[in-house]
Structure 1
Amino acid sequence: MPLVTAAVEERKDCRPDALPLDDLLAGGRPVVLRGLVRDWEVVRQARDTAAAVVAYLTGLSNGRPVQYSFGGPEVAGRPFYNEDFTALDCEVRRSALDALLREILAHVDDPRPPTYYMASLPVDTCLPGFRERNDLDFAAHDVQAPPSIWIGNRTTASCHYDALRNIACCCAGRRRFTLFPPDQIGNLYPGPLDPTPGGQAISLVDFSAPDFERYPRFRDALAVARSALLEPGDAIFIPSMWWHQVEGLAPFNVLVNYWWSSMPVHVPSPMHALYHALWTIRDRPEPEKQAWREVFEHYVFGPAEGAGAHLPEQARGVLGPVDETMSRQLRAMLIDKLNR
């Protein structure tokens, strides 16, 4: 029985060529977009058999090797850690896409198959022509969001967050999404920052059998969680920084997603700042930490124009808008200081 009964809100009025991006971004909440990609060719193939989808994708593949995670039946579809969290329980393998698809297909009837999980493969790199009959019109919104494809059997991407905005489209199989707002990070018990199964810290809680003695605050996270079940042709919008677990519920699953940033390309990931803060601030005496909290509140988390508003425009420097030129100057300054 699912732990979460509250549902993600839904819209049924969306088309690939009429994405309601402004509404989605203004709402700031996850939204299921029912039937958004029901007319995609890959979804049409999925209505037939898994073998039909495999044949379709194989026909589009350019033969480049792809990277995927492999684990034995004991992994049970959940790429995770070893007992002391120092290594992962899956190995990284490479093969041609058609070979990987055949391997997954060969185990669709196994009650305990090996775990196959190909994550975030750039569509344009390995499946040229895919977007001709399977795409969302982000260009109409002047948004660069190249798609990625995810293929596997009954696999679970443990609960994590992404810094980018996301629209994920269920193409074959079924997917369950369980989502939590960003303020639940402490109640989700994140694991190590490195290594990670997919590039981001994941919740250590096993949602299928949560250990509430070990992770008692997870009950508080469940109180505000939302869940969505996606069929082929459905999609979901996930705002930046929302935690989400994604479960593939069928023996063969395909998902295509689009990530895009709220910032121009010259602005780097905030993860760099997080690592620097862990290094330079976290272990200082508490009074110093609180003082630095005030500094960050003033310069970073307050209004963007607030810290420099009392200065003449020509004197604001980094307190003014950070354009591409300022970005290069900041990068050079930081590299110089860190190399001393």
Structure 2
Amino acid sequence: MARSIELSFEPVDNARLANLCGTLDENLRQIEAAFDITISRRGERFSLQGALTKTRLAEQALKQFYAGADEHLSPADLQLALIEIGTHADAVKSAPVLMTRKHDLHGRTPRQVEYLRNIQEHDITFGIGPAGTGKTYLAVASAVDALERDLVERILLTRPAVEAGERLGFLPGDLAQKVDPYLRPLYDALYELMGVERVTKLFERGTLEIAPLAFMRGRTLNNAFIILDEAQNTTPEQMKMFLTRIGFGAKAVVTGDLTQIDLPRGNRSGLLEAREVLGKVRGLAFTEFQKEDVVRHPLVARIVEAYDNQTARVARAAAAKAKEVSHAQAGE
């Protein structure tokens, strides 16, 4: 049921009000999209219309942003704050603090907090869920944190070299140049968390290493933080090979999205099999992210939900068709 809430900021601070609303009220549009409500404004007076719980959250967001609107609100800060307001704020207040160049880096949703705790408390952690939930980024941040605290001696990042639904053909250059396109997201996270100059020096020393999964065979990795990204594109054999590389003093994180498998048709995902086989093994932890954990533009969560609904509809239609065929055959 739609409800309306009236909100006014008095005495009026025009500079703070301008920072709150953004250029051409773009911040208000972001708040509308995040909570699926409508905001009308006349000067310092706001009218919020939508579901009661959503309008209450939007009211809380407006008050919070107005109180902190001494400076311009960046789109990233706005989005992250909206995610925290929309989730259980109390659950993220006790999130582990990571030692990286980004001092405000922490879990934004209860599952992200759970994921960070699992990484700290277990030797092998699986992070499974849709795009935008922070699986890879938080894993890299945890690796940087472990290195900064001298808990590990090096960081190793790997992923299978599988194209996303297309064949790139021959790639020119040396080995590093050939595999860089597959590993670029990992580089981006490292640069943001440690700085380009420091990352470059650590690569030169061998403290940081990025390699295709195929190069892991035969190695034993001690005192290292290892991340296997895009694990949905591993085969069961590759997954077993990777997990058996873990040595003494090592910690591993495996991330992937089971809705974006790019393996050739008929090949089973190693991540899917690992979830089934290792679900009850002690010492391992699984965090299953949902669309509510997406830490990107609000539309990303809705896109994920739309595709999930379509997949469910197709599955129901296939099941109904199979049932009809079964009944028809039984009638014969």
TM-score exceeds 0.5: no
Q: Which has the higher strand share?
A: 1
Determine which structure has more spread, i.e. the larger CA radius of gyration: 2
Please report the TM-score for the alignment, with normalisation by the length of structure 2: 0.23
Please report the TM-score for the alignment, with normalisation by the length of structure 1: 0.23
The answer to which structure, 1 or 2, has the higher relative contact order (CA under 8 A, 6+ apart) is: 1
